[in-house]
Structure 1
Amino acid sequence: MSQDDEFSESPPSTYPLDTDPSNFDYQSSQNEQDSNSSFWGRLVPMSTNLRCSVIDLERETYLFGRQVTCDFVFSNSNTSKENIKFVSKQHFKICYHCNTTVSFVSIEDLSSNGTFVNGVKVGRGKTNPLKNNDVISLALPHVQVFVYIDLKVEDDTKYPPEIKRRYTITKELGRGACGRVKLVFEKATCKMLAMKIIQKSKNSSGGISDPKKIKSEVKILKSLNHPFVITIEDFVDTPDECYIILTLAEGGDLMKHIQNKQCLSEKEAKKIFYQIALAVEYLHSCGIAHRDLKPQNILLTGQGRNSIIKVTDFGLSKTAGSSENGLLCSESWSNCGTGNSLMKTVCGSPLYVAPEVLTAALHSSECSGYTKKVDIWSMGVILYLWG
C-alpha cells in the first residue's frame, strides 16, 4: 500500500457486465420533471458493480471514496470485495461550475488506480468535463459504477460526427440573429472553447447567414493574430450549418459589464478603451474594416482586473481592396483615385453606425462611400456609453 492509500495490486482484467451503458438514455420526461428544481445532475448506479440509490446532485462539489468523510462512501455494503480494495480513500470529485456566463460539470481523478469516463482514463490530478450519459468507472473501464445524467442540458446527437468526435458539447452561452453559441471542451486537451453555430440561409444572398459571408468571416479570422482579437480554433462546414470554434471569453460581453457596473471608473474605462484602440489599429493595419463595433461584440476574458478584451463577430467585416469575385462578392467598392478603397454597403448596428455609412446609398457617384474610419465613430459611441 502506498503512502496515499492506493493499492498496487492490479484489479481483474475483465469483469462481468450484464448491463449495456448505451441503454442508459434518460430522456425528456425525467429532464422536464427536474428542469425547474435546484438539482443540476443525477448519478444512476450501475447495478452490476454498485448497490445504492440514485444520487441527485445540487451542491457545487461532491467527493467519492472509501473515507467516511466523503459525500458518497464506497463500502463493503455497497461495493463487491473484488472492487472495494481498489477504491482510494478519496477517489474522484464531481464539481458544478457556474458563473454569469458559463456553467458546466467536471470530474477530477484523485486516485492513482484511475477514474475512467466512457472507458478513457482521466489521470490522477486531471479534470475532464462530464456530460449527459457519461459512464464513470473505477480502476478499470469494466468496473462501471455510475451513469451521469445532466438535468439541464440538451441532447447533442444532432451535431455532425466530426464535431462530436473532437468536442464535448455542453451549455448554451448565447443566442442571436446569426445563430447560437455553445460551450464546448476539446476532448484532446479539455480546453474550454466557444462554438458558434450559424444556420445557413440559401435565400439570403449577401446576408449574415449567406454561406459566402460565413466563409469570408472564417477567412478573416484565420488571418488574424492579436491578443485583443478573438482567435478561431477550428471550422466545420456542413450543408445546413457552419460551426466556428473560437477562444472562450468567460467574462461575457462589454454591454453586460457596463450594465452591471452602471458606470465604469476612469481607470477601467481607459484600460478597456486602450485595448479596443489597439485591436482596431491592428485590424486597420491588416486592411480590415470591422463595420459592426459595439459593446456586444467586445468580450471580456474574465471579471478580474487582469481581464482583457477580445473583439469578435466579423460577419460584416470587409477586407480593403477585395473585388467582386474576391472575399466578399456581394460588396460594392470604388477607389476614386485617392488610395483609399471606398465601401458603399449600408450595414452595422444603427446606434453605432457612422453617418457616412447611412448616406453612402444616397449618392451614386464614383467618389461616394466610406472607409475603414467608420470604426472610429463606433469607438466614440462606445466610449460615450461609459459617461
Structure 2
Amino acid sequence: MTTVIAFIVIFGALVFFHELGHFIFAKRAGVLCREFAIGMGPKVFSHKKGETTYTIRLLPIGGFVRMAGEDPEMVDIKPGHRVGLLFDQEEKVTKIILNKKEKYPNCRIVEVEYTDLEKDLFIKGYPDDEEEQLKTFIIHPQAAIVENGIESQIAPIDRQFGSKTLGQRFMAIFAGPMMNFVLAFVVFVLIALLQGVPTNEPKLGVITPDGAAKAAGLKQGDIVQSINGSEISSWSDVVEIIRKSPNKKLDFSILRGGKEKDIEVTPKENIVDGNKMGIIGVYSPVEKSPVQAVTSGAKDTYFWTKQIFVMLGKLVTGQFSINALSGPVGIYVSTDEVAKSGIYYLMKWAGILSINLGIMNLLPIPALDGGRLMFFAVEAVRGKPVDRQKEGMVHFIGFALLMLLMLVVTWNDIQRFFLK
C-alpha cells in the first residue's frame, strides 16, 4: 500500500507541475483554459472556479489543459434555431439557452437569423414578443451557451490559443517540460538542505553503530590529520587509504575538541564487484548551507539530464534495446524498490523521473510537446502556420504510434516482472 501511495503521489506531482506550466503561461497569454485535468478517463472529482473546471480523472497516466481553440468551438447555432436569451443590466446576452428553455422563465425567446460568437459577438433574430422585427443583440465576451443544463463559456477569437503570438504559444507549450526541470531542481535542493551537501574535508561524518570506527572510538566531527603517518588533506585521501586496507590496522591521528588523539582502527573487509575493499562505517562529512544546496541542486539536475540524453543516444545507435524500456508498470516496480531505501532516495527518484518526463516531452515526436514546438519552428521559418487539419492528422498518427509503443513496453514490463 505504501508503494501504491508513493507511486500515485510521485506520478501525480510530475503530471501536476507539467500541466501547471502549460496552464500558467496559457492564462498569462489570455487563453481561455476550460479544464485543468490530472489523469485520463472518467472524472472522479470536478470543481469549477472562475473560467476553469479542475478535474481528477480515474487513470493516473497523464493529464491535460483544455484550451479554447484547440478543439472545435461550441455548437453551431444555425438560422431558424429558437434559443432563449438572458441579459445583464447592460442588456448584453449572458446566456444562450439551446433547450429546456422552460426552466428559464425569464429568458427571451428568439428565432435565430445569424450569430457571431467569435469576432463581433452578436446574435440577430426575431424575438417572439415582437412580430416580424429583426433585432441585434450584443453578446457579453464571457457569455455561456447552456445545453441540457450544462454551461459552456464562449471563446471570442482573442481568447483562443491560435490567435496568440508565436512566442506566446511557444511558451505555453514549452512551459510544461520546463516545469519538470524546475521541479527536479527544487527536489534536489530540498534533499541537499535536509541531508546536507557532501564536502571533501577530512572530517568524519555520521558513524554507523555496527562499524569498525564506532568500535575503535572514533566520533562524528573528528578531523583526520594523518593515517599511518601519511598526511591527510581531504576526505578522498581518507577513503582511498581505508579501501586499500581491509583487515589491516591503521593508526589514525585525529583532532577532537582542539586536542590530538591517536586511535587504532582495523577496516572490515567488504566485497564489491569481486574486489576486496576496506570499510569502517563512516559517512562522508556534509555541510548544510542554502548556497551549497542550490549549487548541489543545479549540479544534480545537470548530471541526470546528461545521463538521460546519453541513454537516448544509446537507444538511437542501437546500443540500448527497446526491450529495456519501462512504462508505468516498470516505474511502479522501481518505485517499490526505491521506497525500501528511505524517503531521500524516493525524493531523488522523483527528481530523476521529472527530468525524464521533461526530456521525453521535448523530443520532436508528433502528439508530444516537442512535436508541437517543431510545428512552431516550421511556422517561424515559413512565416505562416501549417494547415491545422494537416497538423492534426500528423499528431493523431503520432499519438496512435505512441499508444502502440506504450502497449509493447507495458507488455514487456509485465513479462519481465510478473511472468518470469
Superposition TM-score tier, normalisation by shorter sequence: under 0.3
TM-score for the superposition, normalised by structure 1: 0.21
Greater relative contact order (Cα < 8 A, sep 6+): 2
Structure (1/2) with the larger helix percentage = 2
TM-score for the superposition, normalised by structure 2: 0.20
Structure possessing the higher radius of gyration over alpha carbons? 2
